[in-house]
């Protein structure tokens, strides 16, 4: 039987992640409070941030920025899209 969490993104119970997706305290909070679907939404948002800001995730400055945005996305006011961002049409 799948783990169920009260997802902070979906605002309802949903299937939880199978393991902690990120190290440390932030990863533990995500594991306990974010569903698979909520995590998938973050991954799509993170990809957009990486592409729009042309980040190299291996660089410490980029990792710190993405971690900060992850915290905001899940537990803060939300992670904003870059100014002027136009989602792909399709």
Give the pLDDT confidence score for residue 82 in this predicted structure: 83
Report pLDDT digits (tens) over 21-50: 999 999 999 999 999 999 999 999 999 999
The CATH number for 62's domain is 1.10.3880.10
Q: Give the contacts of 63 (CB within 8 A, at least 6 positions apart).
A: 57
**Is residue 58 situated within a structural domain?**
yes
Q: Taking residues 5-24, what's their average pLDDT?
A: 97
**pLDDT tens per residue, range 44-72:** 999 999 999 999 999 999 999 999 999 99
Count of domains forming the chain: 1
Terminal CA-CA length for the chain: 37
pTM above 0.95, yes or no: no
On whether the CB atoms of residues 40 and 74 are closer than 8 A, the answer is no
Q: Which domain holds residue 58?
A: 4-75
Structure tokens at 56: 């190299």
């Amino acid at each position: 039987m799948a783990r169920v969490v009260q997802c902070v993104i979906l605002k309802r119970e949903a299937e939880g992640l199978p393991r902690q997706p990120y190290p440390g305290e932030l990863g533990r909070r995500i594991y306990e409070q974010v569903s698979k679907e909520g995590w998938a939404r973050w991954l799509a948002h993170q990809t957009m941030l990486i592409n729009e800001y042309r980040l190299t995730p291996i660089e410490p400055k980029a990792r710190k920025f993405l971690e900060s945005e992850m915290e905001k996305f899940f537990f803060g006011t939300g992670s904003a899209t870059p100014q002027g961002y136009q989602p792909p049409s399709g």
